[in-house]
Amino acid sequence: MNKNIKLWIILLFVIILFNSSACKEREIAMNEIINLPPLKDQFRDFFIIGNIFNPIDVAGGAFLNEKLLRHYNVLTAENHMKPNALSGAVRGQYNWTTADNMVNTALAAGFKVVGHTLLWHSQIPAWQQNLRTDNTSAQTALGWMKTYITDVVTRYKG
C-alpha cells in the first residue's frame, strides 16, 4: 500500500477516535451541568444570568430546554428576532409568529426576555438591502428604519 495512503488512513482513524471520545466527554459534561446548583440561584443577589434560546427550546407553549430552565433567568432570542426573521421582503410586513411564541413561552416559564439587535449588518431584511441599490434618499431610508424599530419595540415593550 502506498505510504501516503497509509498515513491518510491513520490520520482518519485518529480523527474518528478523537471525535468520538470528545463527543462522549461533551455528552457527559452536558449531563453533569443539569446536576450543578442552579447558577441563577447562586448569583441572584448579584446579577441575572442569561443565555440565548431558539424555537427548538419551546414547543406548544412549553419550555423544553432543562438546562436553560435550571440555570438561567433571562433569555435573548438568538437569531429569530433579528431583522431578516421578523421583516421579510416587503417593508412594513412582519412575521411575528415564531418570535411571539418564543417570548410568550419564555415569559410563561418565568424568564425575563431581553431584546436583540434591531438592525444587524449581516441579517437585514430584503427591503432594507434594496435601500442600497435603489435611488431612495437617505432621509426616506432612515425613516423606514425608524418605523421598523418603533414597530418591533412597541410590540415587545415591557
Residue 78's domain comprises 38-155
**Within this chain, do residues 114 and 149 fall inside the same structural domain, yes or no?**
yes
**Within this chain, do residues 68 and 136 fall inside the same structural domain, yes or no?**
yes
Query: For residue 145, what pLDDT is reported?
Result: 82
**Within this chain, do residues 138 and 84 fall inside the same structural domain, yes or no?**
yes
Number of domains in the chain: 2
**Within this chain, do residues 65 and 141 fall inside the same structural domain, yes or no?**
yes
**Within this chain, do residues 96 and 111 fall inside the same structural domain, yes or no?**
yes
Q: How far apart are CA 153 and CA 158, in angstroms?
A: 9
Alpha helices (H) in 50-125, listed in sequence order: 66-71, 83-86, 97-108
**Within this chain, do residues 96 and 149 fall inside the same structural domain, yes or no?**
yes
Q: How far apart are CA 61 and CA 146, in angstroms?
A: 32
**Within this chain, do residues 42 and 27 fall inside the same structural domain, yes or no?**
no
**Within this chain, do residues 26 and 46 fall inside the same structural domain, yes or no?**
no
Question: Which CATH number characterizes residue 140's domain?
Answer: 3.20.20.80
**Within this chain, do residues 58 and 18 fall inside the same structural domain, yes or no?**
no
**How many CB atoms within 10 Å of residue 142?**
12
**Within this chain, do residues 92 and 128 fall inside the same structural domain, yes or no?**
yes
CA-closest candidate to residue 99, choices 119, 112, 125, 80: 80
Q: Could you list the pLDDT tens digit for every one of the 158 residues in the chain?
A: 566 666 566 555 556 545 555 556 666 666 777 888 898 998 889 889 899 999 999 988 899 999 999 999 999 998 888 888 888 778 888 999 999 999 999 999 999 999 877 887 778 777 776 666 666 677 777 888 888 889 999 999 98
**Within this chain, do residues 17 and 82 fall inside the same structural domain, yes or no?**
no
Q: What is the pTM of this model?
A: 0.74
**Within this chain, do residues 78 and 120 fall inside the same structural domain, yes or no?**
yes
